[in-house]
Amino acid sequence: MVRCRMFAALDTVTATSHLREVQTLRVAKMESKPDGPSLRVKLRGLRAIVAVVDQGAVGKAAEVLHLSQPAVTRALQDIEAGLGFPLFDRTARGMLPTAAGRILGTRARRAFEELAKGCSRAIALVGSAQCEISRAARFSAAVGPQALASLIAVADMGSGPRAGECLGCSQPTIHRNLLKLEYLVGVSLFQRTPRGTRLTESGEALLRGVKLAFAEIAIAEDELAAFGGRLQGRVVVAALPLSSAFLLPRAIDRLLSKHPRLNVTVVDGTYDALVQMLRCADVDMIVGALRLNSPPSEIAQEMLFDDGLTVIARAQHPCLLTQTARGLRELVRYPWIVPLPNTPARAAFEHAFRIEGVACPEAQLQVNSPSVVRNLLLESDRLALLSPLQVDAELRTGQLVQVPLALRDASRAIGVATRRNGSLSPGSAGLLDELRVLAATLQPSHIAADRAHPGVSISPCRMAPALPNVYSLDLGYPQNA
């Protein structure tokens, strides 16, 4: 049972109807953290760190950045003061990055690369390939955090006034920041309409790059917190309906009991909506039924276990009282709750009937909500093809029962989806580790699950780069998990 302490740090949001709440939360946290200002508002300092790591000296870094040497020094000292530990060792040979300095330097470099890629994609959409590379590089080197924050706020809130309220500034300030962005990128990013401000296709491309860049910086903050011997930060995990309610809450509870400084937000919604959020780094991972056939190219999937499905009915259902069902043929005449189209559950449902040589029941009632499915089963003579784990509580109390029926090849692959070219923060990696441990108790061997779907390439989720020994010792899980 999920204990009370989980709900103190756990928010649940529906992606399809309340996505803006999650986005607003991200914007609101952009400029501050519990322990001080976020590194996302210190882009100049991050550029200085990358330059000093590359050049090995403040003087050379200042030349590259076209800044004065004192300005670069102040930028470095400001970030070090906020972190509470040095990022460089000052030696006679120059500035040598510490372990923390290497981590932040790597993450900052990736963040600026994402900004450049976003700008490049925005320019390419309008066919301005001639100056694409040079302009993208200038954009990454010059854009300020206020302009990027304004872009995200306007995209999420839909208008300048609401964006200003979210960021605590005036509408003219938001307008000036948007004009700066369009000047730096060189293409139109926004459409002003009577209903508000909308992003153009180029604006959406840039927005994705900005979110991915900020995600890299957020991971850096979480990784650097480990040097203080604690795991902290924010984990945003998406849960697919009818897929992971039995697994994810237990994993989150275990994670928060070990690391109470973490904050976890759970988002649910349709697969397409959640994948779009994952691509833009609005969520860190998706937990649920995997798409084994033609998953999105940008998404990496790791199978956790193979989830067997069975026919579920209420206690005293007529099919249990009047006859012993020998197959699905005897059950077709009852009303069924059918999964939504284009989902693994629907594919398993149709396959179960097809392999029996029986026509599928009419899809009169299609449901995606776990609570609605449970209530329909309890209050009617409907049947559903579900995992016993999804209705474990009702099966234990005897309210629902498994129809004694042997089904062939009725299963779904349950696992985790992440961005293929991304990496997980320490908090997200810790949650994935807990999911793996719990999944192993549901199915004895991951190898058995992999063999259940021959020919399917399922990539393990990428972890954050290996950190120094203090990291693995303090966090309590192996670096190659």
Mean pLDDT of the chain: 82
pLDDT value at position 323?
61
Structure confidence at residue 245 (pLDDT): 67
- pLDDT, residue 1, reads 41
Q: Does 380 share its domain with 269?
A: no
pLDDT tier, 453 (very low <50, low <70, confident <90, very high otherwise): very low
Q: Which of the two residues, 98 and 454, has the higher pLDDT score?
A: 98
Same domain, 293 and 436: yes
Q: In the Cβ-directed half-sphere of 259, how many Cα atoms lie within 13 Å?
A: 27
Q: Does residue 10 lie in a domain region? A: no
Total number of domains in the chain: 3
The answer on 64 and 199 residing in a single domain is yes
By mean pLDDT, which of 2-16, 79-93, 235-249 is the weakest? Answer: 2-16
For the packed helices 171-185 and 145-157, what is the interaxial angle rounded to 10 degrees?
110
The pLDDT value recorded for residue 477 is 29
Q: Residues near 83 by Cβ (< 8 Å), separated by ≥ 6?
A: 100, 224
Same domain, 106 and 126: yes
What is the structure's pLDDT at 456? 36
The CATH number given to whatever domain includes residue 269 is 3.40.190.10
407 has pLDDT over 90: no
- Of 179, 210, 241, the last residue of a domain is 210
Q: How far apart are CA 352 and CA 411, in angstroms?
A: 9
pLDDT in tens, 170-208: 889 999 999 999 999 989 999 888 777 889 999 999 999
Convert the pLDDT of each residue in 109-139 to its tens digit. Answer: 999 999 999 999 999 988 765 567 788 999 9
Residue 11 has pLDDT above 90, yes or no: no
Pair 244, 382 in one domain: no
* 429 in a structural domain: yes
The CATH number of the domain where 182 resides is what? 1.10.10.10
User: What is the domain extent for residue 389?
Assistant: 310-409
Residue after which a domain boundary falls, among 387, 409, 431: 409
pLDDT bin (cut points 50, 70, 90) of residue 251 is very high
Domain boundary among 366, 382, 409: 409
Q: What's residue 29's pLDDT? A: 43
State the virtual CA torsion across 272, 275, 277, 279 in degrees, nearest 10.
-140
Same domain, 189 and 68: yes
pLDDT tens digits, 146-170: 999 999 999 988 888 888 888 889 8
Q: How far apart are the first and last CA of the chain?
A: 26
175 neighbors 197 (Cβ within 8 angstroms): no
In a domain, 453, yes or no: yes
Residue at 12 is within a domain:
no
Shared-domain flag, residues 356 and 378: yes
